[in-house]
Structure 1
Amino acid sequence: MPRYEFRCRACGDTFEVNRPMARAAEPAPCPLGHDDTVKLLSTVAVTGRGGPGGSTPRGGGCCGGGCGC
């Protein structure tokens, strides 16, 4: 289940809420009881696994190594 990060405008507390993506836009009350919160934009880093059976890209250059650049 996705985790969304919120910040309370009243007290400055940052907190996380686990909820389905269908409810991503719903407001979340602060754990301290405040209702004036804003959802924060989070960045996600996705990396592949190296080694046997991993998803490490092969080749290189601008086109994956096909042109020898």
Structure 2
Amino acid sequence: MPRYEFRCRECSTTFEVDRPMAAASDPADCPRGHPDTVKLLSTVSLGGLAGAGAPVPAGGGGGCCGGACGCG
């Protein structure tokens, strides 16, 4: 389920709400009870590290200078 970040305009608290994408633009109350909040523009975050646990292929990617034609 996607997580959306909000900020309270009254107390400046930033908080997260898990909700379905269909409810992404629904208002969210501040955890301190204030109703005046704004949804923040979030960046995409993917868990894990690139290549973690997966073998990294050797060589240059299989093109001519990737070791197959002897030009390097």
When normalised by structure 1's length, the TM-score is 0.68
Alpha carbons of structure 1 residues 67 and 26: separation in structure 2 relative to 1, 3 Å: farther
Greater C-alpha radius of gyration: 2
Q: Are positions 1:11 and 2:8 aligned together?
A: no
**Unmatched segments (≥5 aa) in structure 1:** 60-64
Equivalent position of 2:51 in the other structure: 49
RMSD: 2.3
Q: Aligned partners of 2:63, 2:36: CA distance in 1, in Å?
A: 53
Q: Aligned partners of 2:36, 2:9: CA distance in 1, in Å?
A: 6
SS at match of 1:6: strand
Q: Which runs of 4+ in 1 moved over 2 A?
A: 45-52, 65-68
How far has the Cα of 1:49 moved from its partner? Answer: 2.5
SS at match of 1:22: helix
When normalised by structure 2's length, the TM-score is 0.66
**Unmatched segments (≥5 aa) in structure 2:** 66-72
* Amino acid of the structure 2 residue aligned with 1:36: D
**1:19-34 superposed matches below 5 A:** 19-34=19-34
Equivalent position of 1:62 in the other structure: none
How far has the Cα of 1:66 moved from its partner? Answer: 5.4
